[in-house]
């Protein structure tokens, strides 16, 4: 896309914000709004329809953009010694915080917002890694103490003459998918997930298991496919307007890159000569087609991330509690066992998202003349912008507000109460609402552009490509309306 195309995309995001200011729903609050409730005047469905129409208006622009290359900055910045030193310091600080979190979880306060285990894991890492990656690129690889320990372990094993085993290609990202479901279950379904002592054990076991896995399969191979937070970071980084790049003929340690220029590969970046690597700006979402395709189950991972966050939003709405009240006369056992009910509902929503996407890809595969598996592989990454913006819209304010507690719980891990300061919580409701709505619509517009790029790569006439792309467009409009509807509900604080 050129400068004009970026301007048009920005204008669409502005149109979405303007639409949001004119058509606002009845009541809204969210997990992300830190317990606030906002009153609006007009029906929710009007707002959802307006967002869907805005995404629909982006389709002709995406078609007109054709095969123009995405924008990347002509200027590149090479990380200097100060940046490397800052990353090393951040890595050490995060490692110390991790040790404090485990100790505080085992011996500190049982209150969620007074314990370093819960604050560090659920707010700083779970929310922070995803938001940071979608906005600023893959910073996590540089500051993660677990990643650094895994690489050091691999080097030590190499010196001892121990080589890693071959990673099964069919396994792909399935380990990360299973971990994502487990973490989502801990957060959204099981009440013990907010217990600091249980969470401290989870953190300690998590570190040990992943160090063992990196020792068996190699650090870069496992980080790319199995370590949950690295996978989240590298997937959402494809949406970010910042990319790392390198030029090298050396083999990619993660087994992913084949070209001489390798955008977005942390292992190739660290191995390349300093003069042959750098950081540059690019258009939002362009990492989806600039970086290598996702490995097996990568599309399932993106769908799972999107579906679990949507369930999180839905489970806090009055509609969800209406559903549980309706279920009580017919399924009293389920209604009385909220963990089981939430688990089944989360599975149903995640499965529903997957089935709908598979059905759309089956239709697209028939229109393009290919199979459903090929369509799934090609179109699943175009959902990354949707997953990124919905995650940010849902959690952003929640993270910003309660991340302010991090210094307090780290300096007072046992909760003795000797550290006192007030946190800023007076976030204007209108600002929260318009930020959420603009993010949702903008992310879906970016997804439409990327899906159009995928469609153009299919063999055949451009009219046929546009026709094949239409079911995906309809699906993205549907996702827009669902996302806006969930965010617009009267949510349980």
Q: Tell whether the model's pLDDT for residue 33 goes beyond 60.
A: no
pLDDT tens per residue across span 331-372: 666 666 778 888 888 888 888 888 888 888 888 888 877 778
pLDDT at 370: 75
Which conformational region is residue 255 in: left (phi greater than 0), alpha (psi within -120 to 50 degrees), or beta?
left
Q: Are 129 and 140 in contact (CB under 8 A)?
A: yes
Q: Are 313 and 491 in contact (CB under 8 A)?
A: yes
Q: Tell whether the model's pLDDT for residue 17 goes beyond 60.
A: no
pLDDT at 276: 87
| Mean pLDDT across 432-443 | 84
pLDDT tens per residue across span 167-209: 999 999 999 999 999 999 998 888 888 899 999 999 999 999 9
Q: Tell whether the model's pLDDT for residue 272 goes beyond 90.
A: no
Band the pLDDT of 27: cuts 50, 70, 90: very low
pLDDT tens per residue across span 228-263: 999 999 999 999 999 999 888 888 888 788 888 888
Under DSSP, the state recorded for 330 is T
Using the structure block, give the residue that is written with the tokens 């129409």: 53
pLDDT at 215: 95
| Mean pLDDT across 119-145 | 93
Q: List helix spans (H) across 249-337.
A: 266-271, 287-290, 298-314, 318-327, 332-336
Q: Tell whether the model's pLDDT for residue 274 goes beyond 70.
A: yes
Q: Tell whether the model's pLDDT for residue 376 goes beyond 80.
A: yes
**CA–CA separation, 188 and 458 (whole Å):** 40
Q: Can you tell me whether residue 105 is helix, strand or coil? A: helix
Higher pLDDT, 69 or 413: 413
pLDDT at 6: 44
pLDDT at 464: 61
Q: Are 210 and 226 in contact (CB under 8 A)?
A: yes
pLDDT at 78: 85
**What's the predicted TM-score (pTM) here?**
0.87
Q: Are 71 and 286 in contact (CB under 8 A)?
A: yes
pLDDT at 120: 95
Higher pLDDT, 127 or 253: 127
pLDDT at 485: 79
pLDDT at 222: 96
**CA–CA separation, 264 and 384 (whole Å):** 15
Of 7-11, 122-126, 162-166, 422-426, the range with the lowest mean pLDDT is 7-11
- How many percent of the chain have pLDDT more than 90? 38
Nearest CA-CA partner of 305 in 481, 112, 133, 485: 133
pLDDT at 34: 53
Encoded tokens for 270 = 């660290």
**What's the chain's average pLDDT?**
82
Residue 173 exposed, middle or buried by CB count within 10 Å (0-12, 13-18, 19+): buried
Encoded tokens for 168 = 């099964």
Band the pLDDT of 468: cuts 50, 70, 90: low
- How many percent of the chain have pLDDT more than 70? 85
């Amino acid at each position: 896309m050129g400068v004009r195309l970026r301007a048009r995309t920005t204008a669409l995001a502005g149109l979405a914000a303007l639409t949001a200011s004119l058509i606002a729903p009845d009541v809204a609050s969210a997990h992300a709004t830190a317990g606030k409730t906002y009153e609006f005047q007009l029906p929710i469905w009007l707002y959802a329809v307006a967002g869907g129409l805005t995404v629909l208006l982006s389709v002709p622009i995406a078609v007109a953009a054709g095969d123009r290359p995405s924008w990347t900055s002509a200027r590149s910045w090479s990380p200097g010694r100060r940046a490397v030193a800052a990353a090393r310091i951040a890595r050490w600080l995060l490692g110390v915080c991790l040790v404090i979190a485990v100790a505080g979880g085992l011996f500190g306060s049982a209150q969620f917002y007074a314990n370093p285990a819960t604050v560090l894991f659920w707010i700083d890492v779970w929310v922070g890694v995803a938001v940071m990656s979608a906005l600023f690129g893959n910073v996590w690889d540089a500051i993660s103490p677990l990643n650094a320990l895994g690489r050091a372990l691999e080097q030590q094993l190499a010196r001892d003459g121990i080589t890693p085993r071959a990673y099964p290609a069919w396994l792909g990202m399935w380990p990360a998918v299973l971990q994502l479901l487990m973490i989502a279950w801990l957060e959204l379904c099981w009440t013990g997930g907010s217990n600091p002592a249980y969470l401290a054990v989870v953190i300690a076991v998590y570190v040990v298991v992943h160090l063992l896995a990196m020792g068996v399969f190699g650090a870069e191979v496992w980080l790319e496919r199995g370590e949950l937070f690295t996978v989240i970071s590298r997937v959402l980084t494809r949406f970010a307007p910042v990319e790392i790049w390198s030029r090298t003929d050396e083999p990619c340690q993660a087994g992913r890159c084949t070209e001489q220029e390798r955008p977005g590969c942390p292992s190739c970046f660290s191995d390349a000569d300093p003069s042959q690597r750098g950081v540059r700006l690019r258009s939002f979402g362009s990492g989806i087609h600039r970086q290598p395709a996702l490995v097996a189950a990568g599309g399932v991972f993106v769908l799972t991330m999107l579906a679990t966050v949507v369930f999180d939003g839905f489970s806090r709405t009055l509609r969800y509690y209406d559903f549980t009240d309706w279920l009580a006369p017919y399924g009293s056992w389920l209604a009385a066992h909220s963990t089981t009910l939430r688990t089944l509902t989360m599975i149903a929503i995640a499965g529903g998202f997957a089935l709908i996407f598979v059905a759309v890809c089956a239709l697209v595969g028939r229109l393009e003349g290919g199979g459903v598996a090929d369509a799934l592989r090609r179109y699943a990454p175009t959902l990354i912008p949707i997953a990124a913006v919905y995650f940010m819209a849902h959690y952003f304010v929640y993270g910003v507000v309660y991340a302010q507690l991090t210094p307090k719980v780290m300096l007072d891990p046992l909760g003795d109460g000797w550290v006192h300061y007030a946190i800023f919580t007076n976030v204007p409701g209108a600002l929260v609402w318009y930020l959420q709505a603009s993010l949702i619509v903008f992310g879906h517009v970016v997804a439409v552009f990327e899906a159009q790029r995928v469609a153009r790569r299919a063999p055949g006439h451009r009219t046929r490509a546009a026709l094949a792309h239409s079911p995906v467009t309809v699906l993205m409009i549907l996702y827009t309306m669902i996302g806006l509807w969930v965010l617009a509900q009267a949510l349980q604080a």
